[in-house]
A and B are shown apart, each in its own frame.
Chain A
Amino acid sequence: MQLNSYDKNGITVIQIVGRLDASCALALKTKFKELSAKQNNFVLDLSKMDYIDSSGLGTIVSCLKVVSEASGDVKLACLKDKPRMIFEITRAYKIFDIFDDLDAAVESFIQ
């Protein structure tokens, strides 16, 4: 898994590339901890994420928990078919705001 982060209109975007599973979930947690010291609103760009398991889902949930306590949010964008199915099978879509478009996800914070 690879993580790329950048700023877009004042919102931090983290792009997840590859599989987000038990073997690498900790890397995302560490990266998020570092970034959330300065910022509370995030968009996870999942356009290049191939797979997510319960450890990956748990990590994203823990990210949401961290920023929720500081009135922030984590929104998800551009889920590929396979991870989208996993969100549906596990009903994880109930927890997050999910956007088809990265810009729309970023815009939703500004509005």
Chain B
Amino acid sequence: MENISLLAIDDERFNLLLLEEALKSEDISVATCTSADKGIELIKANDYDVLLLDVIMPGIDGFELRKIIRESRPQLPIIYLTAIVDTIDNSLIEKISQDKLTYYMRKPFVRDELVKMIRNTVAKRRSEEQTRELYTGIMEDLALAAEVQRLLIPDWVILNDDVIVSSIYEPSQKISGDMFDMIRLASGKYFFFIGDIAGHGVQAALYMSAIQSVLKMIIGMGNWEITTHEVLNRLNWVFCTELGQEKYMTCMVGIFDFTTNELEFFNAGHPNLAVYNPAKDAVELLNPGVKGGIPVGWDKYYEYNKEDVIQYKFSDDSIFFMTTDGTFEISNSNDQMLGFEKMIQLLDSLVHDQDAAVIPYRVREALPQMGYSVATDDMTIITVKKIAQEQEKHGHKYWMTHPMVQEVNKLCADCEKYIADYTGNTELSVKVELILGEFLNNVVMHGLENNQQSRPGILVQIKISDNDVIVKILDKGKKWSFNTSPVPPSEDIWNKDEQFATSGRGMTIIRTIASEISRNRYKDLNETVFKIRR
């Protein structure tokens, strides 16, 4: 054991002399003082391994001194050396044991016993410190791993000309065994993948990272016609031969063709794909338990066959839902799980008046409200919706921007041009640009604390109708609220008292222009809607 540094505080010099002599031959360096005040000074200036304290001292006694020491040294072990014999009700022992790092030895002490107690106490403290450091190191590594892992999966929203994908991805621990990806194969054609490694935590997360890379490699080897069953065959082979057989993965692979509105997909033991069918105005399951294959990783010789591929013809307004089992295995306090059927009911109740981009967050927000808050597995919820080409011609358009001031300003100018071209009303387009500019700058600077990173993106949606323009903004900034009541025309933005104020007018300007403002927060997603009359 390394040398031990010890401080003894006792108002009787004799006791200190005794201690110094008793511990002299040991590898313990002993500092002493006769007052609590001097002791506090020494403790501030030195990093002792252990303190020996007398209980009764003039002025500040041993217990009061402990209270003071704990403010700055909560982990420093203290051994009380006292001649006081405890009362029948054990009040002394009780007082000592109120602090878990305090020990007690009667005076006169037996030298060997005291040395043993000092050594054991310090050894315990050092071991605990090492464990704490190790734990902190692991936690820091995990936090970094979580950051890296988040970069492997897409941002919460993917926006292309022909599709919008929104997702919520929530590890049960810091890192997750869930994964998904959406890869553009050609114009209007996308490969999608959602998977769930059995179990969770570090092992599952490492598998997830490996699979994510392998998948990109398989898709990237361009010399073959990508089919869902063949992707699974290749993935299964790599999983079984390269990654060992301790884990397996349920997954679903699919290819969307938004030019023909066709989807082909293969389910390998994963929760079913659900779709909002506008013709029936209901959410339904595609192929409930008929076709499909076993999870990846169970059998390296298993063949995923073409016959098990499912074809589905969808419409422009269809919304697809994918999830991992952690979402519906969430439990309430009575240990009852949500269940897949109830989750479909929940989706069905939300889909009619909600945007595809908001639905995963509405679902996640609703779960604890319904009493389901005990999550034991990773959770992923994804929605996929086509963006029809005609949509833009009917005054409905999406934009996405990274949270950076320059990019936000470009987005505002693009929106202004779109509205001016669509309506021919420049005053209206300038009003929208002003609202967007003022609001998005607040989101970037305050909500997202000007982090200058490319994620999380901000989604803007504009819908122009005969009477008004609806501007909807979805961002993942921190929670902040503002007065959403419109400013009456009689109220002056430049009133006398604040005429020369150089900032703080942005939100007032917004409230002057917008006829209605609403704001909601679903999990960590802010939804802000402005209505501007035409």
Contact = CB atoms under 8 A, between A and B. Distances in A.
Interface in B500-518: 500-506, 509, 512-513
Interface stretch (A9-17, A34-42, A58-66, A99-107): A58-66
A81 B426 CA distance: 9
A86 interface: yes
B500 A22 contact: no
A33 to B, nearest CB: 13
A23 to B, nearest CB: 4
Contacts of B494: 91-92, 94-95
B155 interface: no
B121 interface: no
B505 A21 contact: no
Contacts of B437: 21, 51, 53
A102 B500 CA distance: 24
A82 B505 contact: no
B502 A89 contact: no
Contacts of A92: 493-494
A64 B502 CA distance: 10
Interface of B is mostly: helix
Interface in B472-522: 492-494, 499-506, 509, 512-513
A78 interface: no
Contact of B430 (A59, A61, A85, A95): A85
Contacts of A5: none
B434 A89 contact: yes
B445 A51 contact: no
A85 B432 CA distance: 12
B427 A54 contact: no
A57 B501 CA distance: 10
Contacts of B413: 51
A104 B504 CA distance: 32
B305 to A, nearest CB: 57
A89 B509 contact: yes
Nearest to A64: B500
B492 A91 contact: yes
A89 B428 CA distance: 10
B409 A19 contact: yes
B433 interface: yes
A22 B405 contact: yes
A2 interface: no
Contacts of B499: 61, 95
B218 to A, nearest CB: 43
B512 to A, nearest CB: 7
A61 B427 contact: no
A29 to B, nearest CB: 8
Interface residues of B, number: 28
Interface of A is mostly: helix
A86 B438 CA distance: 12
A90 interface: yes
A23 B406 contact: yes
B463 interface: no
A80 to B, nearest CB: 11
B533 interface: no
Given A55-B441, A94-B494, A89 B513 contact: yes
A53 B426 contact: no
Contacts of A53: 434, 437-438, 441, 506
B431 interface: yes
Contact of B493 (A51, A65, A90): A90
Given A54-B509, A65-B500, A94-B494, A82 B430 contact: yes
Contacts of A23: 405-406, 409
Interface in B382-431: 405-406, 409, 413, 426-427, 430-431
Contacts of B501: 58, 61
Contacts of A81: 426
Given A86-B430, A95-B494, A61 B512 contact: no
Interface string A23-56: 1000000000000000000000000000101110
B431 A89 contact: yes
B502 A58 contact: yes
B253 to A, nearest CB: 43
Given A23-B405, A91-B493, A91-B494, A61 B438 contact: no
Contacts of A62: 500, 502
Nearest to A19: B409
A52 B509 CA distance: 13
A51 B437 CA distance: 10
Contacts of A57: 505
Nearest to B409: A21
A89 B77 CA distance: 68
A96 to B, nearest CB: 10
25 contacts: A22-B441, A23-B406, A23-B409, A51-B433, A51-B437, A53-B438, A54-B438, A54-B503, A54-B505, A54-B506, A55-B441, A55-B503, A58-B502, A58-B503, A61-B499, A61-B501, A82-B426, A86-B430, A89-B431, A89-B434, A90-B493, A90-B505, A91-B492, A91-B494, A95-B494
Given A53-B441, A54-B509, A90-B509, 18 more contacts: A22-B445, A51-B413, A51-B433, A53-B438, A53-B506, A54-B438, A55-B441, A55-B506, A61-B501, A62-B500, A81-B426, A85-B426, A85-B430, A86-B430, A86-B434, A89-B513, A90-B505, A94-B492
10 closest cross-chain pairs (CB), A and B: A58-B502, A62-B502, A54-B506, A65-B500, A23-B405, A54-B505, A85-B430, A22-B441, A53-B437, A58-B503
